[in-house]
Amino acid sequence: MTDVAVIAYGAGNVASVQFALERLGARVVLTDDPAVIASAKRVILPGVGAAAYAMGRLEALGLIEPIRAFTRPLLGVCLGQQLLFESSDEGDTPLLGLIPGRVRRLEPGGDRTVPHMGWSRLERVRDDPLTAGLDERPYAYFVHSYACPDGPATLARAEYGGPVPAIVGRDNFRGCQFHPERSAEAGAHILKTFLELPA
Amino acid sequence: MTARRIIPCLDVRDGRVVKGVRFLDHVDMGDAAELAARYRDEGADELVFYDITASPEGRTLDYGWVREIARLLDIPFCVAGGIRSVEQAGRCLDNGADKVSVNSPALERPDLIGELADRFGSQCVVVGVDSRREDDDWVVHKYTGDPDSRRLAGRSTMDWIGEAQARGAGEIVLNCIDQDGVRQGYDTAQLAQARSRLTIPLVASGGAGAESHFLDVFDRANVSGALAASVFHTGAIRIGDLKAFLAGSGVEVRQ
């Protein structure tokens, strides 16, 4: 059994993340308790919806400092990945500031509809234990209207009228812009490698 | 970019999948969870579940059932049926749905679209539109799940989808009622016009009867996804075969 705490802060699709982890045999705790999160072996920060609302919830629950101070593996999912960066266009909000850069709105144009909604291929940019053993250019399921800045933290990209950081990592903090819990085999693989990261 | 999505639609009544012709005369097609698992295994990109009796009966859908589906699936799914408040949509999402689709309640109270988008983000908010040709225009119908309460919504389809997008919808599913269940192909003219009005994803619905119909709708209307029901439920079209055909015709699909 693996212990993983999924932060349930009222701004995330926690049930589907929980079920995906349980399909992999993990023991999942849904929690908004700063002490439980601070002592967890691994943490997943999900997120659906608006960045400002999510940051407000984390603030209200006293979770910002425990997340920033966390030293074991943490995975942000979708909005949870975006929250790892410094700031966002969305509501002009300061974020957790764990990875440099500003989250920008995707602008529609040509065939690029926004939200970016659907299955796009992942192109690995650099090796990381999280993506070890992942298929070449697998499809993953994306749903988002804002995108993280492409930079040194990018581990894998999707192409959507421009590069979209799909997996990012800096120190113990990692994120997926796509939804691994809804990305069939590739998503299950990412969650499995996350559960196996040394904690 | 994104692969074109193939989306089986499960019209659900009391946990069973049903299918009618032009929304009438429903026939039992099997257990909803069993069919959902089958489509997941066959390579469906997404599933849509419509509780077709919820809206006309003035009730909402069963959240326990949403949770059961969420536990089963590793692909996204959208639920629809009588969702008329932020609280109800929140419970669907909390129980594992990825998106909620609103149709008649959004027509009754268009502010609902903005309320859902503000709270959950546009990416969770799908607006379903049932459209039919009347005289020289496409017009919106509501309460299409129940023929006794079905009626004209008093809106032009193209105006309504534009308004829905402006209010914060993240995707439009356009059900072309004249085509529904008759398997003569998607209404590519209507869908192409809708596509030109939108910057959000558009999903085609109604009329799929052959593999070539999917190719036509992607080629002619440039939609993000194509939804179908009876051709999948009956096994007339297998998703794996359909995707092989589309890939062979130059359409990007996830295989």
- B234 has pLDDT over 70: yes
Q: Does A115 contact B200 at a Cβ distance shorter than 8 Å?
A: yes
> Would you tell me how many other CB atoms lie within 10 Å of the CB of residue A179?
25
Which residue type sits at A167?
A: I
Q: What residues of B are in contact with residue A108 (Cβ under 8 Å)?
A: 199-200
Domain edges within chain A: 4-196
Q: What residues of A are in contact with residue B171 (Cβ under 8 Å)?
A: 115, 117
**Active-site position among A78, A116, A148, A189:** A78
Which residue of B lies nearest to A180 if distances are taken between CA atoms?
B74
Fold held by A4-196: Rossmann fold (3.40.50)
Q: Is the CB of residue B36 less than 8 Å from the CB of residue B12?
A: no
Q: Which member of A112, A113, A139 has the closest CB to residue B3?
A: A139
pLDDT of residue B118: 86
Q: Which member of B119, B121, B254 has the closest CB to residue A139?
A: B254
**Active-site position among B130, B180, B187, B216:** B130
Q: Categorize the per-residue pLDDT at B54 as very low, low, confident or very high, splitting at 50, 70 and 90.
A: low
- B56 has pLDDT over 70: no
A 86-105 residues with CB below 8 A of B?
A: none
Distance between CA atoms of residues A87 and A52, nearest Å: 10
Contacting residues for A48 by C-beta, under 8 A, at least 6 apart: A11, A12, A13, A78, A79, B93, B120, B121, B123, B124
Q: Does B70 contact A143 at a Cβ distance shorter than 8 Å?
A: no
Q: In what order do the strands lie in the sheet with A87-88?
A: A93-94, A87-88, A102-105, A146-147
What percent of chain A is predicted at pLDDT more than 90?
Answer: 89
- Annotated active-site residue A116? The verdict is no
Q: Categorize the per-residue pLDDT at B24 as very low, low, confident or very high, splitting at 50, 70 and 90.
A: low
- B23 has pLDDT over 70: no
Q: Indicate the pTM of the whole model.
A: 0.94
Cβ pairs bridging A and B (under 8 Å): 107
Lowest mean pLDDT among A1-5, A53-57, B240-244: A1-5
A13 and chain B: CB distance < 8 Å anywhere?
yes
- Annotated active-site residue B180? The verdict is no
Burial of A156 (0-12, 13-18, 19+ CB in 10 A): buried
B252 and chain A: CB distance < 8 Å anywhere?
no
B91 and chain A: CB distance < 8 Å anywhere?
no
Q: Categorize the per-residue pLDDT at A112 as very low, low, confident or very high, splitting at 50, 70 and 90.
A: very high
Q: What residues of B are in contact with residue A48 (Cβ under 8 Å)?
A: 93, 120-121, 123-124
Q: What is the pLDDT of residues A141-154, one digit of tens each?
A: 999 999 999 999 99
- A2 has pLDDT over 80: no
For the question of an ipTM over 0.90, the answer is: yes
Q: What is the pLDDT of residues A36-80, one digit of tens each?
A: 999 999 999 998 778 888 999 999 999 999 999 999 999 999 999
Q: Which member of A108, A119, A144 has the closest CB to residue B123?
A: A144
- B47 has pLDDT over 80: yes
How many residues are listed for chain A in this entry? Answer: 199
More confident residue, B22 or B181: B181
Averaged over B44-52, what is the pLDDT? Answer: 91
Q: Categorize the per-residue pLDDT at B55 as very low, low, confident or very high, splitting at 50, 70 and 90.
A: low
Burial of A56 (0-12, 13-18, 19+ CB in 10 A): middle
Return mean pLDDT, chain B.
Answer: 89
Averaged over B227-255, what is the pLDDT? Answer: 96
pLDDT of residue B144: 62
